[in-house]
C-alpha cells in the first residue's frame, strides 16, 4: 500500500528556500515566487511613502500605527508575507523581538502580480478574514487600480475600487489623501 498523504511544509522548509525567493506556508503547502518586479516594488514603496510619515511617524497625520514592508506574519499555522501591513500601536505597543509577528495586522496590502494574484485573492484573503484583519487593500500596478475591503461579519466588503488619478482617502487611512497615480509615477 502506498502512502499518498502529502507532507505538510515546516518552518525549516521555509528557511531552506533561497533568499532570492519569497516563501510562504499556506494551508500546509510551501509556496515560493521570485522577488517582485520593479513596477510592483514601485507601487509598494510609493504606498509606504504615503502612509509612513502620517501614520507611523505621526508627521502630517494622526500617528499610532506601525507600517512595515513585507513582514512575516504567522496566522493560524500559515506563514504569510504581505507586501505591506500595519498594526495599530494600541494593539501592538512594541515590535516583537522575533523575526515574525503572531498578532494579525489591522491592515494588509497585497500588490498583485500575474504570478501571485490568484494566491493573494483565493488563498490569502480568506486567511486574513479568518484571522480578523480588519482592512485589506489590493493594488494592481498593471491595471493601475486599488480595491479597498473592510471585514464585516467575517466577510470582505468591497468599499471602493479606485483607478486613474482618483484620490486615495480610504479606511483605515482616510484622514489623508493622495492621488492613486502617485503609486506609479
| Residue 167 domain-assigned (yes or no) | yes
Judge if the upstream peptide bond of residue 66 is cis by omega within 30 degrees of 0: no
Residues 101-131 have pLDDT tens digits of 999 999 999 999 988 999 999 999 999 999 9
Look at residue 5 in the predicted model and tell me its pLDDT.
59
Residues 39-90 have pLDDT tens digits of 889 999 999 999 999 999 999 999 999 999 999 999 999 999 999 999 999 9
Look at residue 1 in the predicted model and tell me its pLDDT.
47
> Is 60 exceeded by the pLDDT of residue 27?
yes
> Is 90 exceeded by the pLDDT of residue 170?
yes
Look at residue 34 in the predicted model and tell me its pLDDT.
83
| Residue 15 domain-assigned (yes or no) | no
Residues 29-42 have pLDDT tens digits of 999 888 888 888 99
Print the domain residue range for 55: 36-74+81-183
| Residue 86 domain-assigned (yes or no) | yes
Could you give the number of structural domains in the chain?
1
Residues 6+ apart with CB under 8 A from 73: 79, 80, 81, 82, 85, 100, 101, 104, 105
| Residue 10 domain-assigned (yes or no) | no
Q: What is the CATH number of the domain that holds 149?
A: 3.90.1570.10
Look at residue 158 in the predicted model and tell me its pLDDT.
98
Strand partners, 146: 139, 162
| Residue 29 domain-assigned (yes or no) | no
| Residue 126 domain-assigned (yes or no) | yes
| Residue 27 domain-assigned (yes or no) | no
> Is 70 exceeded by the pLDDT of residue 9?
yes
| Residue 13 domain-assigned (yes or no) | no
How crowded is residue 73: how many other Cβ atoms within 10 Å of its Cβ? Answer: 25
Look at residue 38 in the predicted model and tell me its pLDDT.
85
Amino acid at each position: 500500500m502506498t502512502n499518498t498523504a502529502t507532507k505538510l511544509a515546516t518552518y525549516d522548509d521555509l528557511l531552506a528556500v533561497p533568499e532570492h525567493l519569497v516563501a510562504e506556508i499556506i494551508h500546509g503547502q510551501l509556496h515560493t515566487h521570485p522577488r517582485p518586479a520593479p513596477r510592483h516594488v514601485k507601487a509598494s514603496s510609493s504606498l509606504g511613502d504615503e502612509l509612513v510619515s502620517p501614520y507611523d511617524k505621526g508627521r502630517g497625520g494622526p500617528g499610532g500605527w506601525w507600517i512595515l514592508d513585507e513582514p512575516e506574519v504567522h496566522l493560524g499555522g500559515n506563514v504569510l508575507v504581505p507586501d505591506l501591513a500595519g498594526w495599530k500601536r494600541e494593539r501592538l505597543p512594541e515590535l516583537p523581538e522575533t523575526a515574525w509577528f503572531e498578532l494579525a495586522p489591522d491592515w494588509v496590502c497585497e500588490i498583485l502580480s500575474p504570478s501571485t494574484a490568484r494566491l493573494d485573492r483565493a488563498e490569502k484573503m480568506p486567511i486574513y478574514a479568518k484571522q480578523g484583519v480588519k482592512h485589506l487593500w489590493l493594488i494592481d500596478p498593471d491595471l493601475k487600480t486599488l480595491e479597498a475591503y473592510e471585514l464585516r461579519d467575517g466577510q470582505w466588503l468591497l468599499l471602493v475600487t479606485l483607478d486613474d488619478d482618483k484620490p486615495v482617502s480610504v479606511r483605515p487611512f482616510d484622514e489623508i489623501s493622495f492621488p492613486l497615480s502617485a503609486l506609479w509615477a
